[in-house]
Structure 1
Amino acid sequence: MERGVLGQIILLFGTLSLIAIGGANVLVPDFHRQAVGVMGWMNDATFARLFAIVQTAPGPNVMLASIIGWHVAGWPGLVAATVAILLPSSLIAFACSRGLARFSDRSAVKVMTVALVPIALGLMLASGLVATLAAAAGLLGFAITAATMLVTLRTSLNPLVSMLAGTLVYLTAWLLGFV
């Protein structure tokens, strides 16, 4: 195992950890851009598959960094990516929580916390779009994505039901030769 790859993994995920406002989901576009475009560690289809695995697995979405690290450098890559994505942001979150507890009554802190909400939501929406485009599932894939989103927003149905239905629709279309 080349140490340079582990260093790249640590530098990439450690740096991205510092801008993870809104959680790991907001980093999906950067994960994609770096892993596919800049570093060339994988292609769009592989990224989409890894993203799908992470989304269906129980646990935090930060596992995307871990699975990318594993794909690139095996177990050492998984450990390096996981520590690099978690440690910097965890230290910042700890420091911020201490500061918020101490200064929460200040108007500047209240304005800042309200202002971060639309930023985080916009980053999460961008992540969904990047993942949809990376999947390259065509018009049917976009339709399934839109339907899943609408069902999730408009009903109290468990999202896993939508995921199962979308998977069955796509599988049926594939078996019938439509995709």
Structure 2
Amino acid sequence: MRDGIITGLILVFVPFSLTSIGGGGAIIAGIQNETVNVHNWLSAEDFIHLFAVSRAAPGPGMVLATVIGWHVAGWLGALVASLALFVPSSLLCYAVFRWTNTHREKKWHRVMREGLAPVGIGLIMAGVISLFRVTNGGLLGLSIACLATAILYFIPKFPVLIVLALGGAIAAVALGGWQGF
């Protein structure tokens, strides 16, 4: 059984590694679908909890793979999931960088960079929508997300930690979580 899960982790995370255009946020929706709906390794609630832990943990933003691997197969699962997510994309990035760096001044190189940017943004948006659906954010969550987006769009240098704190404070006050705030 454990060998099947280890193989499953590899088969899930290697393709995501190779398609993570736009960074880790671009593959969250796919990871959620694979781990919750396809393989049934996690419940939707477990996924949200592990996602929160991965965001709170120091290190790369996609520690999510590590905590999912650990949750479903212990330390070996954590190691395998981490390597499956980080090694293939790292090798691909290195190879592409080495190959394209000599062509930086050519038109096709600029077009490729500009063409991949919307793909990355779209994949990140899909991840946000997936998380929003799983958490049942409702009107309050949507309002906080829109406010945060507006702040960061119109004031790009605004400190992200303050935006996060403001969102948390608004949610806590709206849900009555902080008495006497």
TM-score (norm 1): 0.87
Regions of 4+ moved over 3 Å: none
Equivalences, count: 176
Cα offset for 1:174?
A: 5.0
Which structure 2 segments of 5+ residues have no match?
none
Are residues 1:40 and 2:40 paired?
A: yes
| Gap change, CA 1:162 and 1:113, over 3 Å in 2 | closer
Q: Give the aligned partner of residue 83 of structure 2.
A: 83
Q: CA RMSD in A?
A: 2.0
Deviations 1:59-84 (A, max 9, x none): 32221111211221121111111000
Cα offset for 1:44?
A: 1.9
Q: Give the aligned partner of residue 129 of structure 1.
A: 129
Which structure 1 segments of 5+ residues have no match?
none
Distance (Å, rounded) in 1 between the aligned partners of 2:43 and 2:145: 21
Determine if contact 1:66/1:78 at 8 Å carries over to the other structure: yes
| Gap change, CA 1:36 and 1:174, over 3 Å in 2 | farther
Give the secondary structure class of the aligned counterpart of 1:147: helix
Distance (Å, rounded) in 2 between the aligned partners of 1:174 and 1:76: 42
Distance (Å, rounded) in 2 between the aligned partners of 1:151 and 1:53: 25
Residue identity matched to 1:28: I
Distance (Å, rounded) in 1 between the aligned partners of 2:56 and 2:146: 18
Give the secondary structure class of the aligned counterpart of 1:41: coil
Give the secondary structure class of the aligned counterpart of 1:29: helix
Determine if contact 1:132/1:145 at 8 Å carries over to the other structure: no
Distance (Å, rounded) in 1 between the aligned partners of 2:50 and 2:176: 20
TM-score (norm 2): 0.86
Aligned pairs (5 A) from 1:43-82: 43-82=43-82
Determine if contact 1:100/1:109 at 8 Å carries over to the other structure: yes
Kindly, what percent of the aligned residue pairs are identical?
Answer: 31
Residue identity matched to 2:119: I
Give the secondary structure class of the aligned counterpart of 1:118: helix
Q: Give the aligned partner of residue 6 of structure 2.
A: 6
| Gap change, CA 1:154 and 1:52, over 3 Å in 2 | farther
Distance (Å, rounded) in 1 between the aligned partners of 2:154 and 2:176: 28
Residue identity matched to 1:20: S
Deviations 1:62-119 (A, max 9, x none): 2111121122112111111100001111111110011112233333233222211111
Distance (Å, rounded) in 2 between the aligned partners of 1:168 and 1:110: 42
Distance (Å, rounded) in 1 between the aligned partners of 2:54 and 2:63: 6
